[in-house]
Amino acid sequence: METLENMQKAISSLDPCQLKVLLVTSVGIGGLLCYLALRKKTKNIPVGDGWWRVGEKPLSEDRTIRPFVVETSEEMIQDLHQRINQTRYTESLEDGRFHYGFNSAYLKKVAKYWRHEFDWEKQVRVLNKYPHFKTNIEGLDVHFIHVKPVQRAGQKVLPLMMVHGWPGSFYEFYKILPLLTETEGDFVFEVICPSIPGYGYSEAPHTQGFTCLDAARIFHKLMDRLDFSDYYVQGGDWGAFITCSMALMKPECIRGLHLNMVNAKAGGALSIISLLVGRYLPFLVGFTREDVCRIYPFMQKNVYKILRESGYMHIQATKPDTAGCGLNNSPVGLAAYILEKFSTWTDYKNRDLEDGGLERKFSLDDLLTNIMIYWTTGSIIPSMRFYKENMGANFQKTMDNTTKIHVPTGLAAFPHELLHCPRVWARSRFTDIRSYTYMPRGGHFAAFEEPVLLAQDLLQFVKKVESKRPK
């Protein structure tokens, strides 16, 4: 009380000019403190809960983690061979290349290799190279591989979850795993690669409405069940959406977020102005020369290219079961549908090649192993349904797509990604970008195409984050 009276006396003794200075200073300091408080305030999206079986959720759940082994049988292989033998082909148009979709002449070569040379039993042994597990979360048997590191003296072990997209699978990460779990340096990764529910060996939801938010929550529960309290996450395609949702849902658990596909934009009129001005005066809108090189060749024929390459999305976001029915019954049809994406999404110019450029970046064994994961599990339809569940009305305006992300973020911009996001746009959503790298080559399937480049970028990002963390 005495202190307050002394302050009042001191203020009353000031002349009007001094009082004015004090008032302005106080208001300024107060405003600055308010701004800093608001700026640092983070907005988390609700965690929620779910149950994806028909019927009521039981009072207790089985938290058991069970070993899982990929298996095959002679009956399965014979059925596959019979269906390949009975495939009906339509001849390609003269000089059609991949402009009409998957070239039929090359498709026959792929099918012939699949039927007579591809060794699925050998590839099953490759899949079982890493330990597989299943555990039941929210009524679904969730599949994942868990790869523990080769730890050297003095190395810190950092948990890392890597999430795939469509039409990929956990197998996309097989070439990058040794680069992350057997590294030299201050740290090494313990890697968990789950299959999104409805993909591969993860059980598909039995009820409607399963979205990226639900996958994010399930994957947080998986990490908790594995006794990890904080961890890194990495993803592209749907994996990028899911890991972003994980960062929004429980940011206290995310040490860092690394993406090779970025979902961010300047927003509304600002995006349009950026695109109009950026080509001629890029510095005014924060574009670099590399941004200009990557954005505008695509923008010249933007509408046509979007229509040409997004037909699958319209089908899967509206009536996935109809087209999926045919794909689930024809292995060659399934291969054509999926492998066409591995052609075009690796490099748009592959459309001009008779073989789609598929074997420039991939081996047929690797491509067909990914196809077999879909074929043997019958998961093509539930994987396509994921588009319908996520891409409802106002998809780009949902909370998980518009809320700012405050965890440390690393962005790897590959030159042949479907869409390029400049760093200046990325800042509109990611407030703590620790690294943004213009990758020298590669497209949409980064871990599958360029495992060394992706591993190097992930490692340098984590090194930056770890160097700033409290000891």
**Residues tagged active-site:** 237, 387, 444
Q: CA-CA distance, 67 to 143, in Å (whole number)?
A: 10
Q: CA-CA distance, 359 to 5, in Å (whole number)?
A: 83
Q: What are the backbone dihedrals phi and psi of residue 350, each rounded to the nearest 5 degrees, phi first?
A: -65, -20
User: What is the b/e burial string over 249-282, where b = at least 16 CB atoms within 10 angstroms of the residue's CB?
Assistant: bbeebbbbbbbbbbebbbeeeeeeebbeebeeeb
In the numeric block, which tokens belong to residue 438? 């213009």
Burial class (CB in 10 A: 0-12, 13-18, 19+), 456: middle
Q: How many CB atoms lie within 10 A of CB 312?
A: 18
Nearest C-alpha neighbor of 141 from the set 227, 214, 62? 62
Q: How many CB atoms lie within 10 A of CB 380?
A: 26
Cα 436-194-333 angle, rounded to 5 deg: 95
Tell me the pairing of strands 65-68 and 140-147.
unpaired
Q: DSSP letters along 351-394, please?
A: GGSTTTTHHHH--HHHHHHHHHHHHHHT-HHHHHHHHHHHS-TT
Q: CA-CA distance, 233 to 409, in Å (whole number)?
A: 10
Say whether the peptide bond before residue 167 is cis (omega within 30 degrees of 0). yes
Sheet holding 231-235, edge to edge: 65-68, 132-137, 140-147, 187-194, 156-163, 231-235, 254-259, 409-413, 433-438
- If residue 110 lies in a helix (H) or strand (E), which one and from where to where? helix 104-116
Q: Give 162's strand partners.
A: 234
Tell me the pairing of strands 433-438 and 409-413.
parallel
Tell me the pairing of strands 156-163 and 187-194.
parallel
